[in-house]
Amino acid sequence: MKRLSLFLLLYAGLCMTVTAADAGVPARFAPWKSKIEKLSGFEKHVIIDKGTERPWSGKYVNFSKDGIYRCKVCGAALYKSSDKFDSHCGWPSFDDALPGAVKEVPDADGYRTEIVCARCGAHLGHVFRGEGLTPKNTRHCVNSVSLKFTPKASQDKNTVNENNTTQAKKQQVDTSKIAKAYFAGGCFWGVEYYMEQIPGVVEVISGFMGGKMKSPGYYDVVKGDTGHLETVEVRYDPRKVDYETLAKVFFEIHDPTQQNGQGPDIGSQYRSALFVANEQERRTAERLIGILEKKGLKVATKIMSATTFYPAEEYHQDHYRKKGGTPYCHRRIKRFD
């Protein structure tokens, strides 16, 4: 324990200096600008500038309620209370994170490993291994100010409501009659949001298509070298809505003229594309692009053959239904008569 105590004192000493956070919002936090602006100066120092709160000062150090710990910025679920333990280090400690929720990054000091929210990149703290404090031999040392807590009762209620809504919608259709269509138009959260509102659409799943890696995760794709595009799989009842209607909505909810990105999301994974499954879908896509080009639009949207679709992690599904709000980089503009 003396080695651990000495290490913790060194850790605290390295991180104790607190400076005022830059008044501006870094570009990487653009999608969550409104949330960042509501943070206190100290919260910005920790979350954006990668600072550290004083040991034993955080609200969740000796906190033991049952529920989920979420990112203070984007609300992503990060840790379960059942994985929290008392490490006597002065900061909330967890020996595991929810799958895909946390990203590990080599620290600038060359000795430690930083942990950030996998969704928005908010600084959480550091991860340590080999201390023998739990059977998992891992300690996620997290700043309380980087977290917000959702009690189990609230979590269960939200889950029940979401499941009931989804099941009620699915029960209205004969699943044997369901067709699928694939669209890539920037961040899949926004495309999913609008496509789900079309009458006849049963379900929309966020995921990835078009790349060379098998079963990619979000942060594999985000690097931009797997070839995948953020894509939605639209499951629809062709007796109630046709492919052309879906494609028209797709062209109206994003900017089909923008290359290598959509809105503030720049990168090859955010390109605009229709992944067609047959010649009929290809002809429909070509005809709609022709209509837009006759109206003066220089369409950047590509027509590509559908390949294997890989669903994204659960925390990416139904983002706006779970978190509230509306898409930050998508809005509908009528482009067809």
Active site residues: 141, 187
Nearest to 172 by CA among 231, 237, 258: 237
Specify the pairing of strand 201-209 against strand 310-311.
Answer: antiparallel
Spatial separation of the C-alpha atoms in residues 188 and 230, rounded to whole Å: 6
Residues 6+ apart with CB under 8 A from 18: 42, 45, 51
Specify the pairing of strand 272-276 against strand 302-305.
Answer: parallel
H/E/C letters for each residue in the chain? Answer: CHHHHHHHHHHHHHHCCCCCCCCCCCHHHHHHHHHHHCCCHHHHHHHCCCCCCCCCCCCCCCCCCCEEEEECCCCCEEEEHHHEECCCCCCCEECCCCCCCEEEEECCCCCCEEEEECCCCCEEEEEEECCCCCCCCEEEEECHHHEEEEEHHHHHHHHHHHHHHHHHHHCCCCHHHCEEEEEEECCHHHHHHHHCCCCCEEEEEEEEECCCCCCCCHHHHHCCCCCCEEEEEEEECCCCCCHHHHHHHHHHHCCCCCCCEECCEECHHHCEEEEECCHHHHHHHHHHHHHHHHCCCCCCCEEEECCCCEECCHHHCCHHHHHCCCCCCCCCCCCCC
Length of the chain counted residue by residue: 337
Angle CA 323–329–334, to nearest 5 = 115
